[in-house]
Amino acid sequence: MDWKPKTELGREVVEGKIKSIDEIIDRGLKIKEPEIVDMLLPDLGKEIIFMGGSPGKGGGIKRTSTRRTARMHKSGRRFNINACVIVGRPGYIGVGKASGREHVIAIEKATQQAKMNIIPIRRGCGSWECVCGKQHSIPFKIKGKAGSLTVELLPAPKGIGLCIGDEMKKIFRLAGIDDIWSRVFGDSRTRLSYTLAIIDAFRNLNKFKLSEQEEKALNKEELIEDNKAVPEKEETLEEMTQEILAEEILESETGSSETSETSE
Ligand SMILES: [Zn+2]
């Protein structure tokens, strides 16, 4: 690749000092050059989230890949093209949004953004109805938010497929997730918010450190609660967070070697 890195991180990648994207993410380093991702994840796929268009009078929505917005300028109206792009491969996803004067430019800028925002995805077989142990779903249920939109993703047994809005299926296919159940709270027609809420859920998935047994127990417990039609389970989730936080503090105090931070 004919690329002259501008950042120290880029140089380390070119020199082969850093060999994987996980190393960068684990160290909490910010990627400022998309070429870093091109080098470390060369087989990255790309999808455009169609977010243009608006609900029609008859209820039908004609979707376009980009959204055009106008703003007033002294010489008349100026148009801006907005695009949302996701990049990924099994186990990884990144989202980018950008605007430009032209369609192609907006998409290109959003693609570069998406690469720099790459995150790992914790996949798993979290459904208590499935014991295959393969990485076909997510390990436990999780929520994500973007503005007023909340998405909840739930592990599904093998063969269920992607039970989520059609356009959003692109995200899961790229990330290598075959089976998922979902619930949406809010207006899911806003594709950008919908996308960002899903990515937020993936991000939240990475925050929880649970053992496999705990994951199974959690999903089973909450599903039983669902059957009893318990209206809101925020408390139990909050308690869980508190417990995990307390555990982490304890760990750092006892000087456990499990911390992922480096001393640089
Ligand atoms: Zn399974």
> Domain extents for the chain?
8-120, 142-253
- State whether the Cα torsion 54-56-59-60 is positive or negative: negative
Which residue, chain included where needed, has tokens 């009078």? 57
Task: Give the residues of the chain that fall short of pLDDT 70.
Answer: 1, 53-63, 210-264
- Measured in angstroms, how far is the CA atom of residue 218 from the centroid of ligand 1? 16
Q: How far is the CA of 213 from the centre of ligand 1 (A)?
A: 14
Q: What spacing in Å lies between the alpha carbon of 154 and ligand 1's midpoint?
A: 13
Contact 120, 92 (CB under 8 A): yes
Class of domain 8-120: alpha beta
Q: Quick check: 139 and 124 in contact, CB under 8 A?
A: yes
Range 142-253 has CATH code 3.30.230.10: yes
Asked whether the beta carbons of 200 and 181 are under 8 A apart, the reply is: no
pLDDT computed for residue 229 by the predictor? 37
What pLDDT does 110 receive? 95
What's the gap in Å between 258 CA and the centre of ligand 1? Answer: 28
pLDDT at 189: 77
In this prediction, residue 244 carries a pLDDT of: 52
Residue 136 alpha carbon to ligand 1 centre in Å? 6
b/e map of 97-127 (b: 16 or more CB within 10 Å)? Answer: bbbbeeeeebbebbbbbbbbbbbbbbbbbbb
What is the per-residue pLDDT for 84? 94
Give the pLDDT of residue 77.
79
Residue 194 belongs to what H/E stretch? helix 191-207
Predicted pLDDT of residue 218? 65
Span from the CA of 153 to the centroid of ligand 1 (angstroms)? 15
The alpha carbon of residue 144 and the mean position of all alpha carbons in its chain are separated, in whole angstroms, by 9
Compute, in angstroms, the gap from residue 183 CA to the centroid of ligand 1.
Answer: 20
Query: How far, in Å, is the centroid of ligand 1 from the Cα of 236?
Result: 25
Centre of ligand 1 from the C-alpha of residue 129, in Å: 8
Please give the pLDDT value at position 68.
Answer: 81
Q: Is 261 exposed, middle or buried (0-12, 13-18, 19+ CB in 10 A)?
A: exposed
Exposure of 153 in the CB half-sphere (CA atoms within 13 A): 35
